[in-house]
Amino acid sequence: MTLHSGATLTWLDLTSADRDKVRRVLDLFKEKGTVDELGLGTLRDLLADTLFPGTSVLHTRLRYVLFIPWIYQHLESRVGKLSNVDDEARALEIRLIGALKTREPSGAGIIGVEAHEELRRLPSSVYWAALARWGIFAPGQSQGWYHRHFRRLASQREQTAADDPGLTWTKTPTWHLHLPRPPTGFLEKTTFALTREEAVFVQQTLETRVQGSLLGQLAAQVPPSIRGAANLWDVPEAWKLPPNIRLTVELARRFSLHVEGAALLYNLLLAEKRQALQGQQTGKDADLIDSYRQDLSTWAEVEAAEESFDHEALWTLAARQGVRLRPPQKAFLKTWTEQVAENGPARIADSDSARDLLTRREISLKGARARVKNVNRLLDWSGRTGVGRMGFRWSQVRRLLMDLQDGLAA
């Protein structure tokens, strides 16, 4: 597969594991309110993966990490009668949609509630990284790998060693040994509400598998403050955790603020260009210009009260996590930080060098499709692109933690 600056995909001969990775990459572009116009997605996801391992912007409710194993355990129990595991698993996942609708009439959080039989992205593929990372799928491999080895794994049974009748041994289990049993008839009617047993299992799994992350620490205590926290750094308990986690939380908070200015300036640039192109001094673009200048002024006041952003801390985190960052991306962020420091946040809106930096960055990423040079794309611009603080999947994680908290109180 190759991903070109023109946002086209070319598929070559991929393994199933490769396809799983590609799907996860594409998921990153679906995060609401976060269009990666300036190529900062890798850094955003580095922080999100460190804070919340195994999570995705497509996660809706926590009980899916149990529904999926239960469906596959059902298939494993009748492996001799299966003709095609892909088709059989899909049929049961589609059936789960109807089962959830019987007890969750609003449809909120149900994956495929509208598409139903036409659903292309099944819950299992959405949650598979979590199942593997959190140790619920014991082999820790891709879903494609599991399907290829399904019959062998399903047929594994406790065996007796031939040379010692008193010795038994078991091969690596497919699913976590303490996975709770599914409720009777869950494929007929069910809900997202976790039982206490299920919640304790998930909590203990997260504590064991992602203990050194913010996710693992919050799962261990699930503080009530998560419900009212608009941002992950608004959770008071996050600042009382071990130093390495606190430092990552602070790095995420500071990075989110620092690059918000770049997104605002980029949008201001587009509004000014389109206004000049159309030769209008009033109207929608004039209002946008005023709005973005005010937003930049507000941002500058907050940014000026902070210490200079330490981009080296991001490089160190990436190295520790085994993430390779591209030199142009590192150079862009480093230069943006220098521009903010040299000009001062209050003057960044009118800095020719900062404007040139953003212009060159978009062109380097998109080529002829860059809005700063493509008239048609500029005219089609919605007026708001990539604006807002990065959330690092907090809205999804908060919903998962709320489900956990409710289950523990059941």
Residue 356 corresponds to which tokens in the numbers above?
A: 């040139």
pLDDT tens-place string over residues 190-232 = 999 999 999 999 999 999 999 999 999 999 999 999 999 999 9
pLDDT tens-place string over residues 34-70 = 347 899 999 999 999 999 999 999 999 999 999 999 9
Percent of the chain with pLDDT over 70: 88
Residue keyed to tokens 């990075």 = 255
pLDDT tens-place string over residues 260-276 = 999 999 999 999 999 99
Residue 75 corresponds to which tokens in the numbers above?
A: 């298939």
Residue 373 corresponds to which tokens in the numbers above?
A: 């040079």
Confidence class for position 155, pLDDT limits 50, 70, 90: confident
Query: Residue ranges of the domains in the chain?
Result: 32-53+243-379, 64-154+171-240+395-408
pLDDT tens-place string over residues 287-311 = 999 999 999 999 999 999 999 999 9
Confidence class for position 81, pLDDT limits 50, 70, 90: confident
What is the structure's pLDDT at 83?
A: 87
